[in-house]
Amino acid sequence: MKSPFKDKPNIRRYSILPARLMQDESVTRAEIRVMACIGMYSNSYGICWPSQTTIGRHLGHNRVWISKQVSSLIKKGYLRKLKHKDYPRHVQRRSAGRTNRYQILWEGNDPIPTREQFWTPAPKFAVDDQDDVMPANTDMQTGVQGDSGKDYQVLAQAFRSSVERTSGVHRLAEPSYQAAKTLYDQGLTIDQVRDHTAAATRDALRNNRQPPLTLDQVAKWAGLYKK
């Protein structure tokens, strides 16, 4: 969505933030604005990484001011600063430096996010602005770093997208590359992987289990490996 204010970055139509924050009289108006800005970049698990420069462009303040509000929100238990990690291959970086990674704390004692939760995509902005990292289009992409252009990896992407469409749970493709190579060599098609993955996911949900984590689990569940 285009910002209605001149010289401001484009915005999302909504932001998410902990409801308990609104009842906390110790929270300042400045902290609420910063929290709302951070929440605009969050995925459904409260994970985000807007740079302080980006936040400052939205709010019209410098990085020192932003850092002060963020530090206060961390002390009050509304934000957690996560450790820096290497970006996986399916994420394209738009800046050379590292940016802070945050977890919005809904309850205050929320557990550290899982890898799948961390990389769950955030809803898109109407027009991509100057975000620091951006998930690549992994369904059809063949030109990302490493060996992701290999044909067998489309099966891993088919597994990932099928789990997400069937259950709404995010999965990464990379842990399934080895199984994808084996199944590709056996002649399995994208449609077969999608169908078996959807069936395995529905079976897991019916039995109160989490959806499959990797294509290997689906292959074993469906008996796809040739002996």
Domains of the chain: 19-135 (1.10.10.10), 153-222 (no CATH)
Tokens for 147, please give them: 């060996």
Helix residue ranges, H only, 49-189 = 52-59, 63-75, 115-118, 153-167, 177-185
Residue 144: pLDDT band (50, 70, 90) is very low
Tell me what pLDDT residue 124 has.
60
Strand partners, 227: none
Residue 139: pLDDT above 60? Answer: no
Residue 80: pLDDT band (50, 70, 90) is very high
Burial class of residue 111, CB neighbours in 10 A (0-12, 13-18, 19+): exposed
Tell me what pLDDT residue 128 has.
42
Mean pLDDT of all residues in 69-75: 96
Tell me what pLDDT residue 85 has.
57
